Structure 1
Amino acid sequence: MSIDLHDAVAVVTGAGSGIGRAAARAFARRGARVVVTDLDAERARAVADGLDGLGVAAACDVTSLDDLQAVKDLALKRFGRIDLVMNNVGILAVGPAEAIPLDAWQRVIDVNLLGVVRSNLVFLPVLLEQGAGHVVNTASTAGLLPYGFDRLPYTATKHAVVGLSEALALYLRPRGVGVSCLCPAGVATNIVEQITFYGQPAPPQGPAFPVVDAESVGELVADGVTENRFLLLTAQGAAAELRDLGADVDRYLSRLIKDTP
């Protein structure tokens, strides 16, 4: 079920910068042809142009089913197939729970969660018909562990992406399609551009994970795809935290509450 990235065709959303750009580069280094998509067409083009002839760029808003359909059509027209889809777009609304307005919640859900849903509607029929391929969904350690109370819409959608990915693995893997869920902790990217602040946010309370560079995360994703691994963590300490949480949720939460300033 693992795929060889050499000569594979990958579609990456949110690939104009950060983790998406790093993953696109890592896929191309392994010989994949990459459809680089981003809301910012110029950023997408710059990344695609740097892939030594293996990239093609497309503007794509993941809140638009038509945009995703156009990306699929471009990939099939240019390369004849699609082997890998990485859903990587994410935005944040940050502030106290009582200060984040409903329209901010709706926007985050539309991008972070329904963006993946739309991608599934467009690309899964292609992968299922050929009986092979791989899907990577970018979630977050905030979707695994209860520390993101300063960014609740993001936290809620990333928990949803984790659950969606787990269920998809049960459904797709028997049909020849692999699934990976990337859960980054601190990564040096320009995600601050995608944050809207409300009120006076309190610092999140939780484990202190090291910040890693985006390029190492791109390599992690490429290796995870070729090895058909499900959970991809940028901070190995997150696995121990997840085990502690699973062993006794009440004890874990009580520890965090006690440590909250």
Structure 2
Amino acid sequence: MSMDLHDAVTVVTGGGSGIGRASAHAFARRGARVVVTDLEAERAHTVAGELGGRGVAARCDVTDLDDLRAVRDLVLDRFGRVDVVMNNVGILAVGPVEDIPLDAWQRVIDVNLLSVVRSNLVFLPLLLGQGSGHVVNTASTAGLLPYGFDRLPYTATKHAVVGLSESLALYLRPRGIGVSCLCPAGVATNIVEQITFYGEPAAPQGPAFPVVDADSVGELVADGISEGRFLILTAPEAADELRELGADVDLYLSRLTKDAG
């Protein structure tokens, strides 16, 4: 389900840096108007300023339903509609699974997964009412493939975001609304700011994907919306891994275990 981003009204959470900032720029280059939201208001205003007249800034804590409602009201007051919602906020708890406490799990689930649920509650009624629009959920290749045991709360939530997005696509596409799931591999961003470490570092295990710059990811997201694509990968090699996993899960897990040994 393709969408022309020219004059589209887009909302980006976590838009003050990294993939969110790059996507905001990519949308604006295609003629969209972009509401840049971030927990850090200064970052949101900086990125909105970079977009010139096409950018609007708002502080938003995605764990607060009222903050998301305030963004919705701002967008409607300013533009009268919403066309694209990109749910892009994510944090990590890293370490051996036995060392990561319950409150860290709860925090990661609240930010990475329930933020998407809150966004759906706030914005989907608008998209459904107008019978058009597009939702982008940022997951990860760690949500497609079983390698992220060193960041298990993140991995679990990203698998959940992938599953949520797949089912959401089945529900929304017949109603005129597109859904994309962005699954980046290595991306050069400031994500380290959002990592909390526990215990001794665990050695990551799994395929080594190339690291790409955030700007190229933003272009992939904009192209994915324009072309109506569901799965957006930053590393095409991940598709080969996904096919191998689907062909024989036991064999795939055995190979990863053997490679680790």
Superposition TM-score, scaled by structure 2 size: 0.99
Q: CA deviation at 1:63?
A: 0.2
SS at match of 1:196: strand
Which residue identity does 1:184 align to in structure 2? P
Aligned partner of 2:97 in structure 1 is 97
Gaps of 5+ in 2: none
Q: CA deviation at 1:96?
A: 0.2
Which residue identity does 1:246 align to in structure 2? G
Query: Does 2:32 align with 1:32?
Result: yes
Aligned partner of 1:125 in structure 2 is 125
Query: Does 2:129 align with 1:151?
Result: no
Which residue identity does 2:177 align to in structure 1? V
Aligned partner of 2:198 in structure 1 is 198
Which residue identity does 1:217 align to in structure 2? V
Q: Distance in 1 between matches of 2:253 and 2:124?
A: 37
Aligned partner of 1:5 in structure 2 is 5
Superposition TM-score, scaled by structure 1 size: 0.99
Q: CA deviation at 1:260?
A: 1.1
Aligned partner of 2:45 in structure 1 is 45
Q: Distance in 1 between matches of 2:107 and 2:210?
A: 29
Q: Distance in 2 between matches of 1:141 and 1:200?
A: 24
SS at match of 1:34: strand
Aligned partner of 2:57 in structure 1 is 57
Q: Deviations over 1:153-198 (max 9, x none)?
A: 0000000000000000000000000000000000000000000000
Gaps of 5+ in 1: none
Identity of aligned residues (%): 84
Which residue identity does 2:30 align to in structure 1? R
Q: Distance in 2 between matches of 1:120 and 1:220?
A: 23
Aligned partner of 2:215 in structure 1 is 215
RMSD: 0.5
Aligned partner of 2:83 in structure 1 is 83
Q: CA deviation at 1:3?
A: 1.4
Q: Distance in 2 between matches of 1:137 and 1:217?
A: 13
Aligned partner of 2:233 in structure 1 is 233
* Pairs aligned (count): 261
Q: Deviations over 1:207-256 (max 9, x none)?
A: 00000000000000000000000000000000000000000000000000
Q: Distance in 1 between matches of 2:218 and 2:102?
A: 34
Q: CA deviation at 1:80?
A: 1.0
Q: Deviations over 1:45-72 (max 9, x none)?
A: 0000010210000000000000000000
Q: CA deviation at 1:2?
A: 1.7
Which residue identity does 1:222 align to in structure 2? A
Q: Distance in 2 between matches of 1:203 and 1:232?
A: 27
Segments of 4+ moved more than 6 angstroms: none
Which residue identity does 2:60 align to in structure 1? C
SS at match of 2:123: helix
Q: Deviations over 1:132-158 (max 9, x none)?
A: 000000000000000000000000000
Q: CA deviation at 1:81?
A: 0.8
Aligned partner of 2:251 in structure 1 is 251
Q: Deviations over 1:6-58 (max 9, x none)?
A: 00000000000000000000000000000000000000000000102100000
Q: Deviations over 1:90-114 (max 9, x none)?
A: 0000000100000000000000000
Aligned partner of 1:23 in structure 2 is 23
SS at match of 2:107: helix
**Structure number with higher helix proportion:** 2
Higher mean Cα deviation, 198-207 or 96-105? 198-207
Q: Distance in 2 between matches of 1:100 and 1:201?
A: 11
Q: Distance in 1 between matches of 2:204 and 2:123?
A: 35
